[in-house]
Structure formats: C-alpha cells, structure tokens
Amino acid sequence: MWRVMLLVIDVGNSNIVMGIYREEELLYAWRLFADRNQTADEYEIKIRALMGGAQISLADISDVIISSVVPPLMPAMEKMIGVCFGVTPVIVEPGIKTGLQIMYDNPREVGADRIVNAVAGYELYGGPLIIIDFGTATTFCVIDEAGRWIGGAISPGIGISAEALFQRASRLPRIELVKPKQVIGRNTVSGMQSGIIYGYVALVDGMVNRINRETGIVHRVIATGGMAEAIAEESETIEAVAPNLTLEGLRLIYNRNRR
C-alpha cells in the first residue's frame, strides 16, 4: 500500500498520546502511560500491537512528527520511530515553523505541548482565545486576535493535587476523581471530591475572569486534556472541549514543515 499516513506523537509527563492521520482525517488515537524506564524495544512492541489491532501496516506510515516535554524519553522514541517506520521524525523544537509568534520573555521556555495546542486552537477557533489544558499541570495559554501567544499561567494538575492530598494528609484516602452530587460533602470521600473538582472549576473560572479583566478583552475559552469534560460541565467560562487538540496541532505543524 502507498505510504500516505502521518503518525503524530505527543510525549507528556504522564501520558504519550498518539494519532494517525490520513490527510486531514484522524483515523485512530491512542493514549499510553509515559514510562521513562521503558526502552525503544518495549515501545516498539506497544506501537506494533496498537497498529496491528487497527489493521494498519507500519509501511503505511509516511512520516512522523513528535512533540515532547520529557527529554529523557526522546532517545527511545526516536530509535523506535527509526526502527518501525524507517524515517527521521519532525520534532517540535526551537526553529520549527509554527506560524505562531511567541511573546514570552524567553520563548524557549514554552513547552512544546503548549505551542502545539496554541497552533491548533487559533486555527480552529481564532482569537482572542484562552486554551486550558488539564494535564499533569493545568496550563492556561492566552492568544490574541492576531495569533500571538502572549503568555499564560501554570498550576498543579488535578491528579497530582489529589495525590499530594493523599500523600501528605495521613487520614485522607486516595479517591476516584469523579464529580460528587453536591458541593457540601457528607463524608470524607465526597468532601475531597467536591474540594478537588469544584475547587478546580472555581480556579478555572477565576483565572479566566482575571485574564479578561487584565487584558480588557473577553476571550473565547476552550479546554483539552484528561479532565476537560468533567470541569467544562460545571464551568461558567469554558465554551468548548477539544479532546484531540494536541494531535491536530501536530498535524498542522507537520504541514507547515513538510519535507
């Protein structure tokens, strides 16, 4: 079969998200645990299993683009890509064409995932825009009407906040992160769930309102990441959830750097 498919990979602190595109169509998307101790051979086994289950041949992949915020994982990922697909991946790093102007004091400090999200967010929704990514960290990225990435904010992610509560408070249990029926908890578990879920809803809405006041502009707000749906259901400011925003951003950046 003619090699016409693009594999996009985003390596995060907690998960590796992958997708396969045929032109503009996302055919498959997968999420793997990001294990820094796994070798290229182990990742090769996983990718072969995923693609085999989707009945896609390794030979169907024409190119690969990868973004990462975990440098120690990159040697294994690059080696796996070379062995499986026989290509050198496009890497989202300083110097790559994104079409995005970064207005940060030091643009190199901006995580690749935030740049990729911003590229897709502006392409899909325009500006001014706030993108909230519920990952290991909860990040806020602010894009103006001209498509300039003007900055943002970073707070601890929902998962690590819940885990820290369990680790540091000896009498509090590890809980499932689900929305409780009411804000006022009637037991320890529902009280913790309320504080974490509704607390993050208040964090999101409070930060969005502060950004709007500081800029004097009402931004459109979109969310992505693992807890986006749960928070968006209760948020007064999130207008849309884009679960595949990072994958779409990688596809767009690949097209702007097509070899």
Half-sphere exposure of 78 (CA within 13 A, CB side): 13
Q: Which is catalytic among the residues 35, 41, 63, 113?
A: 113
Cα 82 from Cα 198, distance rounded (Å): 45
**SS3 letters for 33-66?**
ECCCCCCHHHHHHHHHHHHHHCCCCHHHEEEEEE
Residue 13: which of 167, 114, 135 has the closest Cα? 135
**Could you confirm whether 105 is annotated as catalytic?**
no
The residues near 138 (Cβ < 8 Å, ≥ 6 apart) are: 132, 154, 155, 156, 157, 158, 200, 203, 204, 225
Residues tagged active-site = 113
